Amino acid sequence: MQQLANLSDSELNQRLAFEGLDLQVGPYIYKIKTNLPLVGSGISTLYKNFNLAQPEAFIDYNVAILSKGLLQRLRGQSDFLFDNTNPFDSIPTGQAYAFLEWGMNWCVSLHTNEYLKLHAAAVARGDHTIIMPGVPGAGKSTLCAALGLSGWRILSDEHAMIPPNTTEVVPLCRPVSLKNESIGVIKRFSSNAIFGPVSRETHKGVVAHMKADLHPQSHEKKTLKARTMVFPRYAKDETQRLSPRRRTESFILAAYHSFNYSLLCETGFEAMKTLIENVTCYDLVYHDLDWAVNAVDSLADPEPNP
């Protein structure tokens, strides 16, 4: 299968500007169009090793980020389009790359209800898969990025997708979204981190995305069985700890972090029940990223022989 890296710069720009670039992203195919060089550069950097879709493949999500017409270009504005319609207000062109990634997340959040979806990172090492739900600012993306730079496979930074009545996680590897201080934290954590364009003055502050497909198996589609659920929380002034969490409390909190638990009604309840009954749940409070990575590593390490 051909990768984006096989395209020359001129071929990539031609596709983005005209017929669209068809990318295989987990179980979905995105058709992406843009006439913005900054966005094209970000796609080239962060999706370099993603597979191109086969010709005539079904397109799941048709998206674009465009600056249309002289007046919009003079104003420095761009639009995100989904199926050639504009679901959002225009945005500053300097924020266009971040908005493309957010728009791609929005597509999955809104349209894929064949899965129980948690707002969570998911990572795997060997046969140990961990789901990490978290609210914005909890530190899940920072921890996810650090784990990806430490040998873990990033399955997703944003969506843990669980087929109902299983504990399987569907891989949806895309760039990790980092904000504000987290960008510098990850740059200091590892010189191997690769970043796309920086978007400033967004509603989330400064945003940059890190290349996430760092593992040899990053683009494999096979589901992986979740064994652990960790609720990370960055807390500068608290004692660092990894502590067990009761399943009843974990059920409530995981349901709170789900995009579609209520929408799925009884199916959602049964899917969450199956998941929580079959994973071990923990709270992780941290302020030292190396300590947090070691703590997560310990969950995947085999039990020592007596």
Q: What angle do CA 198, 201, 207 make, to 5 degrees?
A: 35
Fold of 116-174+212-300: Phosphoenolpyruvate Carboxykinase; domain 3 (3.90.228)
What is the pLDDT averaged over residues 141-146?
97
Task: Give 33-51 pLDDT, tens digit per residue.
Answer: 999 999 999 999 999 999 9
- At position 231, the amino acid (one-letter code) is F
For the cut 70, the answer to whether the pLDDT of residue 130 exceeds it is yes
Task: Provide the pLDDT for residue 105.
Answer: 96
Q: What angle do CA 49, 193, 257 make, to 5 degrees?
A: 85
Task: Provide the pLDDT for residue 260.
Answer: 95
What is the pLDDT averaged over residues 110-125?
95
3-state helix, strand, coil split of the chain in percent (to 5) is 35, 30, 35
Distance, in Å, from the CA atom of 27 to the CA atom of 222, rounded to the nearest integer, reads 10
Task: Give 244-283 pLDDT, tens digit per residue.
Answer: 999 999 999 999 999 999 999 999 999 999 999 999 999 9
Six-digit token pair at 55? 């010709």
* Complete DSSP assignment for 56-95: TPPPSEEEEEE--HHHHHHHTEEEEEETTB--S--EEGGG
Q: Are 210 and 195 in contact (CB under 8 A)?
A: yes
What is the pLDDT averaged over residues 144-149?
98
The DSSP call for residue 51 is: B
Q: What percent of the chain has pLDDT over 90?
A: 91
Helix (H) or strand (E) holding 169: strand 168-169
Distances (CA, A) of 223 to 47, 201, 263: 21, 37, 23
Greater pLDDT, 139 or 152: 152
Greater pLDDT, 304 or 112: 112
Task: Give 57-86 pLDDT, tens digit per residue.
Answer: 999 999 999 998 887 888 899 999 999 999
- The closest of 206, 210, 200 to 94, measured between CA atoms, is 200
* Complete DSSP assignment for 9-21: HHHHHHHHHTT-E
Task: Provide the pLDDT for residue 166.
Answer: 97
Window from 150-154, 200-204, 279-283 with minimum mean pLDDT: 200-204
CA 7 from chain centre, in angstroms, equals 24
For the cut 50, the answer to whether the pLDDT of residue 305 exceeds it is no
For the cut 70, the answer to whether the pLDDT of residue 143 exceeds it is yes
224-234 and 241-244 beta bridge pairing: unpaired
Q: What percent of the chain has pLDDT over 70?
A: 98
CB under 8 Å to 254, separation ≥6 — which residues?
118, 133, 229, 272, 275, 276
Task: Give 16-26 pLDDT, tens digit per residue.
Answer: 999 999 999 99
Greater pLDDT, 149 or 237: 149
For the cut 50, the answer to whether the pLDDT of residue 202 exceeds it is yes
Task: Provide the pLDDT for residue 304.
Answer: 46
What residues does each domain of the chain span? 4-111, 116-174+212-300
Q: How confident is the model at residue 190 (pLDDT cuts 50, 70, 90)?
A: very high
Six-digit token pair at 287? 């302020």
Q: How confident is the model at residue 306 (pLDDT cuts 50, 70, 90)?
A: very low
Task: Give 213-230 pLDDT, tens digit per residue.
Answer: 999 999 999 999 999 999
Helix (H) or strand (E) holding 231: strand 224-234
